[in-house]
Amino acid sequence: MVYLLYGTKEFQINEEIKKISKNIQEINISKYDLENDLLSTVIEDCETYSLFNEKKVVIVNNANIFTSSTSKDSEIIEKYLNHINENTILILTVINDKIDERKKITKLVKKNGIVKCFNDQLDIHSLIRNLLKDYKIDYNSINTLIDRVGSNPLIIQNEINKIKIYKGEDKNITEEDILNLTTKIIEIDIFKLIDYIVKGNKEKALEMYYEMLKMNEEPLKIIIMLANQFRIMYQSKELLKKGYTEKDIAGILKIHPYRVKLAIQNSRLYNSSVLLKKLDELADIDMGIKTGSINKNLSLELFILNT
């Protein structure tokens, strides 16, 4: 059997993988990533029978061969899809909102396997109720849990597991339990910080930056990522002026099309000369930190205030 699981909801895709492989022993599960592993190696594994004469699962992440990206490996997967090893469960995942329906290999997967899309917005309340289906918890307590730990499904699952272990046989979860047993998480997301800076939301950017400093985040790392974002914004803006499409730009810059889309949206807030000036400022800060001539924490704070 072959499964193609795609969409932007990575948590849901991972849950589906667990369902598909739940009766398979860990020793019979192989994992690959097509950003690092060769497709020929994956297919060789798929065609090899399990040493224990049991079904095996081969999980392949970043199977972007099913998107609009070009690949020389189409024939390899095409050949396998026409001669599937029935003792192997092949699970291909694509973290993208869509696959290329026109490709022959996509049509073959639909014909000979199962394709599932995971783009629907995840209902956090429903997720929590499902994770706590054998427990009693009221609406306000669920909201308290979300307020404390955020809406990241993996974090929610980890915190709920902690609550279950502590509660033992007691199936009643109160707001007091949540306050006492969960860790309040300040959502520290470097990409969100960069987004705040790029969009000029100084208050939010500084608030998050101060929290990151408390957690010993390295300012130099933020500066490098920020410079990279401004560079992509500048390059995307200039290439767009020359008539290139978002897809063309993604190919030229060798980055995901979604990053190009966001870069183009954000670049509208600046003209090209300002973007170049920001890159120069960040280069100066980088050099100043490395030579010890400026305070690394204060320098980025001033950059945020002046952006």
* pLDDT over 80 at 58, yes or no: yes
Q: Return the higher-pLDDT residue of 250 and 185.
A: 250
CATH superfamily of 2-117: P-loop containing nucleotide triphosphate hydrolases (3.40.50.300)
Cα–Cα distance list, 73 to 63, 70, 84, 113, 135 (Å): 11, 9, 17, 19, 48
Strands (E), the chain: 2-6, 29-33, 56-61, 88-94, 114-117
Q: What does the pLDDT read at residue 189?
A: 62
pLDDT score of 99 more than 60: yes
Closest CA to 245 of 262, 229, 261: 261
Residue 80: which of 57, 113, 102 has the closest Cα? 113
Average pLDDT value for residue range 79-107: 91
291 or 215, greater pLDDT = 291
How high is the pLDDT of residue 200?
A: 84
Give 42's pLDDT tier (boundaries 50, 70, 90).
Answer: very high
Instruction: Domain ranges for the chain, please list them.
Output: 2-117, 124-181, 190-306
> Chain-centre distance of CA 117, in angstroms?
16
**Is the distance from CB of 208 to CB of 193 less than 8 angstroms?**
yes
First to last CA, the chain: 53
pLDDT tens-place string over residues 142-195: 989 988 888 778 788 889 999 999 989 999 999 999 988 887 665 556 667 878
Fold of 190-306: Zinc Finger, Delta Prime; domain 3 (1.20.272)
Per-residue pLDDT band for 52 (boundaries 50, 70, 90) equals low
In angstroms, the Cα distances linking 43 to 18, 77, 84 are: 21, 7, 10
User: Which residues lie closer than 8 Å to 160 by C-beta, 6 or more apart?
Assistant: 128, 131, 132, 145
% residues pLDDT > 70 (the chain): 94
CATH number, domain 124-181: 1.10.8.60
| pLDDT, position 152 | 76
11 confidence band (pLDDT: 50, 70, 90): confident
pLDDT at 53: 64
- Answer whether 292's CB lies under 8 Å from 261's CB: no
